Structure 1
């Protein structure tokens, strides 16, 4: 059993922590005693999360900009060394393969893959030097299987899983662990946008649009952000020190 304050004295940095899965993860870590810094582009929204008591501080940066990420990490480190990083920031675009442009592919790689790489490069050296750390990427079931109409997104998320596995193998004896959680369709603003797109393109009612997503989950429902957060808490905990290089699906048995 884990203590209610398991993460007391540990500093966690969550990218994309102002909404959806990232906000749920930040709040869960905060409830368990961690000092939590959220990183994102929208300072107003992040300050609202801090004001709600779901994080302690925020740092403004676009994860696609390595200089901005480095500066934000230095800012956060002034509070305390970073023990846990959750690389959650991401974006999704959909289009048929024939309409998927090089620019779309680069955009998906920049935010979903390079966003993970930039934050990992910024925090891993200090973690390795201290002999302990946790890097957890929020990937997707799209990193474990293919979906139609999101070839660029799937390519980026598959690359995240490959990066996690390679970095984990390279750092396995350092005390740093590197893992990914792979949610299925989760009840977030991002999925609401997908539902709206389906409605716009097909004219189907919302219930039918939602059903087209939930049918992929054998449990017949959307995953909840707190369920993803629970998986992250486990990977971030002391008891998961032997878990590295893993891509754990939180998807009701879809994968």
Structure 2
């Protein structure tokens, strides 16, 4: 792995356990730019595979199991990451879950789970890692939100609400750290070609009676897409926000087909 702009930086990526997902693509991109990476998710076996891949490519990587909804687990992640990396310069809050259902079929348990994982998890991790970044006068926090956090759409009321929370949180924390050398930004992809998207489309089909093809078309129509976005497209946008040249603050970068725009 060649030395890149992020050589000497330490990064933590949550939600990196799903094969072919955004977290794994982000970990690869950061590692490829020279960062040492801690990958985190609830399932240790899955993230061990990601860390092994990064090490095989010549990078430094560790896997740490973490439930981002549990304050004690997040605190343990912060301790482990500081031990492995010495200093955490980059935090990518990618852990999240999707949900698709008509409003009347959303249960309170569904609502609480989506808000807790997507919004509270982002809050807990940022709260755990941000102070040391401010102390060192350099840091990058990138929250993986969604275009659903900038608008809305059929069957995604709970998910959209959780991502609106992430976007508002991002802008507010960015204002708090302005001028410290730390930036806090969000990427807002549309529908990405991941296992989570496929599960979401399957739920739409099951709960509406649509065919899987019609359900995918309906989902893409809410964001104006004609195809799914690749995880690598998202990873490139995250990487740009982590590099010195992309040191904007409080941005919400929309990731559409073929690229990103603010």
TM-score (norm 1): 0.92
The alpha-carbon distance between structure 1 residues 217 and 103, as it changes in their structure 2 partners (threshold 3 A), is closer
Deviations 1:33-62 (A, max 9, x none): 110111110001111112222771111110
- Which residue of 2 is the match for residue 77 of structure 1? 82
1:28-67 equivalences under 5 Å are 28-53=29-54, 56-67=61-72
Distance in 2 of aligned mates of 1:76 and 1:6: 21
Equivalent residue for 2:251, pick from 224, 240, 246? 246
What is the DSSP-based 3-state SS (H/G/I as helix, E as strand, rest coil) of the residue aligned with 1:53? helix
How far apart are residue 96 of structure 1 and its match?
1.8
How far apart are residue 76 of structure 1 and its match?
0.9
1:62-211 equivalences under 5 Å are 62-79=67-84, 80-202=86-208, 204-211=210-217
Single out whichever of 161-170 and 195-204 deviates more from structure 2.
195-204
Deviations 1:156-205 (A, max 9, x none): 11011111101000110111100000010000000111232234345554
Distance in 2 of aligned mates of 1:199 and 1:130: 49
Aligned length: 252
What is the DSSP-based 3-state SS (H/G/I as helix, E as strand, rest coil) of the residue aligned with 2:38? strand
The alpha-carbon distance between structure 1 residues 254 and 185, as it changes in their structure 2 partners (threshold 3 A), is farther
Q: Give 5+ residue unaligned stretches, structure 2.
A: none
Distance in 1 of aligned mates of 2:218 and 2:78: 40
What is the DSSP-based 3-state SS (H/G/I as helix, E as strand, rest coil) of the residue aligned with 1:196? helix
Q: Give 5+ residue unaligned stretches, structure 1.
A: none
Distance in 2 of aligned mates of 1:98 and 1:205: 21
The alpha-carbon distance between structure 1 residues 97 and 113, as it changes in their structure 2 partners (threshold 3 A), is same
TM-score (norm 2): 0.90
How far apart are residue 71 of structure 1 and its match?
0.8
Kept in 1, the 8 Å contact 2:41–2:65? The answer is yes
- Which residue of 1 is the match for residue 5 of structure 2? 6
Kept in 2, the 8 Å contact 1:40–1:46? The answer is yes
Kept in 2, the 8 Å contact 1:135–1:179? The answer is yes
